[in-house]
């Protein structure tokens, strides 16, 4: 019995170390308020992890820590074998320079609740901006790729439109295309449909489903239970800054083991 338990723990550690994203005992506080308490999580390459939980549970903070938009107070986050936001020097870690952090972020795309498009730029220009201005790609190459991405998100006919001329759902799809333009290895979505009118949600989720089918590694904060059930490989329910329950969708969503998880799911379904 003990041997079986030891093997299971070893197997779990091996899976964690091989994951594209490794979140190890991460802690984060804002003043006296501890938002993340010893969070550990592994996200294998090519999988979708959905973070569920009530407001204030720490989901969005955890997501922002993954690309170092928020610093952490303890633990470590590793993406594709690289320590995020910090460099190791002996037994100590030191925060990287803003330039080094920006370079790391190139491989991590993020889509926010609010679209954050540049209002003075067309859809095409929004998508081209980072590849040209940050990655230094030739404008012709960046334009060709941006046109491909516009077609991919179903907006090929809107290249010359400004954000004010687009619906919220269209703006969010442009934001997804903009993140994809940097060819990220990981995509983070922070409640990407929560600011949209209900009839616009479907188009955005369809784009995300297609990304999942293509094997994009994704971490998604959302309350869209149907999306989680149909697309996620792993569902993580958080509350009070801790992981309450995690596992495949059919376990966490259809047969939750914790009463807190059951109460939450009853409130949102």
| Mean of the per-residue pLDDT values of the chain | 92
> Which DSSP letter does residue 71 get?
-
Q: Calculate the alpha carbon distances from 90 to 23, 94, 139, 210 in Å.
A: 21, 10, 42, 43
Residue identified by tokens 């495949």 is 248
Decide if pLDDT at 12 tops 50.
no
Q: Write the pLDDT tens digit of every residue in 186-222.
A: 999 999 999 899 889 999 999 999 999 999 999 999 9
Residue identified by tokens 């190459």 is 141
> Which DSSP letter does residue 256 get?
-
What confidence tier does 4 reach under pLDDT thresholds 50, 70, 90?
A: very low
Percent of the chain whose predicted confidence (pLDDT) is above 70: 94
Q: Is residue 1 part of a domain?
A: no
Residue 16: what pLDDT?
A: 57
Continuous H helices in 106-219: 123-133, 139-152, 168-180, 198-213
Domain that holds residue 103: 19-107+185-269
CA angle 12, 13, 19 (to 5 degrees): 90
Decide if pLDDT at 246 tops 80.
yes
Q: Write the pLDDT tens digit of every residue in 151-182.
A: 999 999 999 999 999 999 999 999 999 999 99
What confidence tier does 17 reach under pLDDT thresholds 50, 70, 90?
A: low
Q: Are residues 140 and 207 in the same domain?
A: no
Q: Is residue 4 part of a domain?
A: no
Q: Are residues 197 and 258 in the same domain?
A: yes
Q: Write the pLDDT tens digit of every residue in 85-111.
A: 999 888 888 999 999 999 999 999 999
Q: Are residues 170 and 191 in the same domain?
A: no
In whole angstroms, what is the distance from residue 249 CA to residue 254 CA?
7
User: Mean per-residue pLDDT for 28-47?
Assistant: 97
User: Can you count the helices (H) and strands (E) in the chain?
Assistant: 10, 12
158 is written with which tokens? 């809107």
**Looking at 183, 209, 237, which one is the last position of a domain?**
183
Q: Are residues 145 and 190 in the same domain?
A: no
Q: Is residue 245 part of a domain?
A: yes
Q: Are residues 256 and 228 in the same domain?
A: yes
CB distance 188 to 109 below 8 Å: yes
**Looking at 183, 215, 232, which one is the last position of a domain?**
183
């Amino acid at each position: 019995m003990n041997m079986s338990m030891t093997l299971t723990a070893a197997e779990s550690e091996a899976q964690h170390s091989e994951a594209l994203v490794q979140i190890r005992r991460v802690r984060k506080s804002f003043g006296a308020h501890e938002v993340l308490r010893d969070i550990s999580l592994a996200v294998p390459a090519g999988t979708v992890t959905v973070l569920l939980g009530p407001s204030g549970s720490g989901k969005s903070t955890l997501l922002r820590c993954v690309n170092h938009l928020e610093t952490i107070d303890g633990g470590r986050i590793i993406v594709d074998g690289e320590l995020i936001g910090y460099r190791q020097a002996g037994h100590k870690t030191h925060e990287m320079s803003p330039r080094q952090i920006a370079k790391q972020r190139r491989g991590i795309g993020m889509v926010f609740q609010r679209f954050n498009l540049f209002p003075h730029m067309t859809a095409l220009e929004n998508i081209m901006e980072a590849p040209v201005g940050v990655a230094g790609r030739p404008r012709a190459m960046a334009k060709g790729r941006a046109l491909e991405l516009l077609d991919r998100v179903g907006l090929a006919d809107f290249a010359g439109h400004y954000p004010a001329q687009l619906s919220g759902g269209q703006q969010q799809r442009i934001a997804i295309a903009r993140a994809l333009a940097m060819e990220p290895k990981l995509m983070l979505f922070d409640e990407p449909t929560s600011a949209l009118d209900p009839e616009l949600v479907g188009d955005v989720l369809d784009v995300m489903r297609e990304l999942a089918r293509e094997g994009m590694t994704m971490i998604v904060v959302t309350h869209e239970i149907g999306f989680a059930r149909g697309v996620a490989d792993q569902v993580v329910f958080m509350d009070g800054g801790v992981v309450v329950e995690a596992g495949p969708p059919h376990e966490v969503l259809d047969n939750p083991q914790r009463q807190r998880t059951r109460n939450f799911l009853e409130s949102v379904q």
